[in-house]
A and B are shown apart, each in its own frame.
Chain A
Amino acid sequence: MRINGAQAVLESLKQEGVDVIFGYPGGVVLPLYDEIYKMKFPHILVRHEQGAALAADGYARATGEVGVCLSTSGPGCTNLVTGIATAYMDSIPLVCFTGQVATSVIGKDSFQEADICGITTPITKHNYLVKRPEDLLRTIKEAFFIARTGRPGPVVVDIATDVFRAEMDFDYPEEVHLKGYSGLFKGEECAIDAAVEALLQAKRPLAFVGGGVTLADEAEDLRAVIKKAGIPVCSTLMGLGCVDPDTEAYLGMAGMHGSYAANMAITGCDLLIGIGVRFDDRVTGVVKEFAPEAKIVHFDIDAAELNKNVRVDYPVLGDLNWSLPRFAKKLAACGVDLPARFASWREKIAAMHASHPFSYQKRNGVIMPQQVIETAARLSGDDTIFVTDVGQHQMWAAQFCPVSAPRHFLTSGGLGTMGYGLPAAIGAKIGRPKQKVVLFTGDGSIMMNCQEMATAADNGVDVKIVVLHNHLLGMVAQWQRMFYEHHYSQSQLHGHTDLVKLAEAMGVAGVHVEKPEDLEKALSDALSREGAVLIDVMVPEDADVLPMVPGGKRLDEMILEQEAAK
């Protein structure tokens, strides 16, 4: 049967199991939008293309499936860029379709022309410009394969508008043939043996887990490894949820705003077992003095991550699907009662964590931001997907939300994209409609993509938006307070914006909360209500995220809550 290119794109999406597109129409993609109309293909109309890319990202993080977004050429696709970079930094599988001007006018500075492949080359796993109808189906097949296999990432498929109109047979390829990429990442068995041996030699081992575990859906095997090894474990921001927070000697997040015990354990351990982490500068502090006494084991799928930021003694290259089950098995077969061997070290670290938990001082008459996170997390229940924006509230959420499972804490870790939260929460809710979705945001971040409240309202997307409203760009102000002599340069938001009215103007219910005694009821009412709600909670301006490792310092040189209070 002959169909046109636009129909072929949608048929391909069906073959790939895509159940929703996040997009925004425009000139060159009109042929595709006409087929979306005729075929009634599920599509969420966002209000800004950045929202489309970030919603697709939230969908992908919540479900583990490839997120799909669509924009027109020129400004449409350049608006996707921040979302694509966000996905790239956190290795999130996306396929971003963009329309391109007709092949005959590419390169002529045509109306709404932009070289999106050139623009996105450094922020995509791969990208394609499709100029010939005969390349279309193979390209889409490859794009999904590349996005979801190996270390996942975003792929851009830029399609010249005449390709949408070209007639073709729909013959979707079953297999992918790429000379330089197989999507398989098995390592060498002896690397795992070396890691086991290193653990047997260690006296003070520590596991350090990251987003790679979530991407590989390997939390179960990880939990088995931790149990069999009986060692303390800490997490990166991206790894939250991989370890059950009730696990003995689980220390929560490490790094700049990580827990005291996590950072002290990293500094004091003699073997650090990194699993699906990339030793980002927010987690290492000054990198030369990171884990100074430790040999480092590093499990990762990406050879370029090994030895990129820290020197690794025992690299275990390979997909965690391959390596973690083997590691667990070999630990079980090693004939040593590891939990007994490491008991005193584990208990020492656990006690350190118990005596230095994440904490804050409550104040009379004002709602502390950490209190909002704790209360909302408690009221929302176990299976809630928490989404954050970027800034102080993000770190407080990471510290005070007990995240019980992977894909339950969605945050822009690598790129730190303000404006991430609302569209990502919408995408997450659409991907996981049965789960509650709670967004923690700030009065700075929410304004970066507040237009997506209209998307939520008009599509009946039930997201709860909790704004920690401190009238500041909180994290900027915190740094200015600590390192720039309280010069609050361009970080104050004492304006006229009424977030409740803004929400209501777009059809989202709005609630204003100011008094501590009203917090519990307001949150509980909002969370149990149907439909999108914005809860605007007033919090003090001067709260700091602590502990904090100042830039250029070692992880054990933290500013602690107790010290800051003095």
Chain B
Amino acid sequence: MRKFLLAILVDNKPGVLTHVAGLISRRAFNIESINAGYTEEESVTRINIVVSVDSEWELEQVKHQLSKLIDVVKIVNLTEVDNITRELVLIKVRATAEARADLINIVNIFRAKIVDVSKENVVIELTGEESKINAICEVLSEYEIVEIARTGAIALSRGPVPVKQMQEN
């Protein structure tokens, strides 16, 4: 299984997320994450999905099937170009008096941030590549994790060319 991050530019219309999500389900594609947000253009939404596929053929299928959706303006496989990928995670951890110092240490090592503190808990924020997020989750699993929220990956290409001006690849 290989993972690819696809940036999908779609018309910002009602129902577009249903169409994208419906297609993924209908064609039985495996996705690791999906997220959507506004872009520099009011009429365009950017959906980022990470798909895991067995073969190049399967990846082609995902792209071609998504391209067929009327709302989809463009799809670019960012994994195939030089890119920056980031994910954000918020982790709420039980922070007893004994654990607190350790947690602060871990946060510093990962260059993460503590964004909320209460008597029992801390909330840790970390931005990074998926491997880094996985690593902090792994380390923190030694402690009592109350809950985790992850955004899934987003990515931009390096260099001056935006996805909207790239060749579909």
Contacts and interface: CB of A to CB of B under 8 A. Distances in A.
Given A121-B19, A122-B22, A122-B25, A129 B14 contact: yes
Contact of A126 (B43, B57, B60, B70): B70
Give the top 6 A-B pairs by smallest Cβ distance, nearest first.
Answer: A304-B64, A121-B22, A122-B26, A180-B73, A126-B70, A179-B73
A303 interface: yes
Interface string B61-72: 100110111111
B46 interface: no
A308 B22 CA distance: 19
B74 interface: yes
Nearest to B69: A180
21 contacts: A117-B18, A121-B18, A121-B22, A121-B26, A122-B23, A122-B26, A126-B69, A126-B71, A128-B15, A129-B14, A129-B15, A180-B10, A180-B71, A181-B70, A302-B68, A303-B67, A303-B68, A304-B64, A307-B57, A308-B61, A311-B57
A107 to B, nearest CB: 12
A306 B65 CA distance: 11
B141 to A, nearest CB: 38
Contacts of B69: 126, 180
A227 B60 CA distance: 35
B70 A178 contact: yes
B51 to A, nearest CB: 15
Contacts of A307: 57, 60-61
Interface in B1-46: 10-11, 14-15, 18-19, 22-23, 25-26, 43
B3 to A, nearest CB: 21
Contacts of A179: 11, 43, 73
A137 interface: no
A268 to B, nearest CB: 26
Contacts of B57: 307, 311
A307 B55 CA distance: 12
Interface in A113-145: 117-118, 121-122, 125-129, 131
A350 interface: no
Contacts of B11: 178-180
A146 to B, nearest CB: 6
Contacts of A118: 18, 22
Best-buried of B15, B23, B71, B74 by chain A (most CB within 10 Å): B15
Central interface residue in A121, A125, A131, by most chain B CB within 10 Å: A121
Given A122-B22, A129-B14, A307-B60, A180 B70 contact: yes
Contacts of A127: 15
The bracket for how many chain B residues form the interface is: 20 to 34
A55 to B, nearest CB: 26
- Of B10, B23, B61, B68, the most chain A CB neighbours within 10 A belong to B68
B40 to A, nearest CB: 15
Contacts of B61: 304, 307-308
A83 B26 CA distance: 18
A303 B64 contact: yes
A163 to B, nearest CB: 14
Given A121-B26, A304-B61, 6 more contacts: A121-B18, A126-B19, A128-B15, A179-B73, A303-B64, A308-B61
Nearest to B21: A121
Interface in B47-104: 57, 60-61, 64-65, 67-74
Given A122-B22, A180-B74, A304 B15 contact: no
A146 B43 CA distance: 20
A117 B73 contact: no
Contacts of B10: 180
Contacts of A131: 14
A117 B70 contact: no
A181 B69 CA distance: 8
Contacts of A304: 61, 64-65, 67-68
B68 A146 contact: no
Contacts of B72: 180
A182 to B, nearest CB: 11
Contacts of A122: 22-23, 25-26
Contacts of A311: 57
Given A122-B23, A304-B61, A304-B65, A146 B18 contact: no
B125 to A, nearest CB: 34
A126 B10 CA distance: 14
Interface in A273-310: 302-304, 306-308
Residue among B14, B22, B25, B61 having the largest count of chain A Cβ atoms under 10 Å: B22
Interface in A495-516: none
Contacts of A303: 64, 67-68
Contacts of A180: 10-11, 69-74
A125 B64 CA distance: 14
Contacts of B26: 121-122
A369 B73 CA distance: 52
Interface string A241-255: 000000000000000
Interface string B116-137: 0000000000000000000000
Contact of A125 (B18, B60, B70): B70
B70 to A, nearest CB: 4
Nearest to B43: A179
A128 B11 CA distance: 13
Among B10, B60, B65, B70, residue most surrounded by chain A Cβ atoms (within 10 Å): B70
A311 B74 CA distance: 25
Contacts of B43: 179
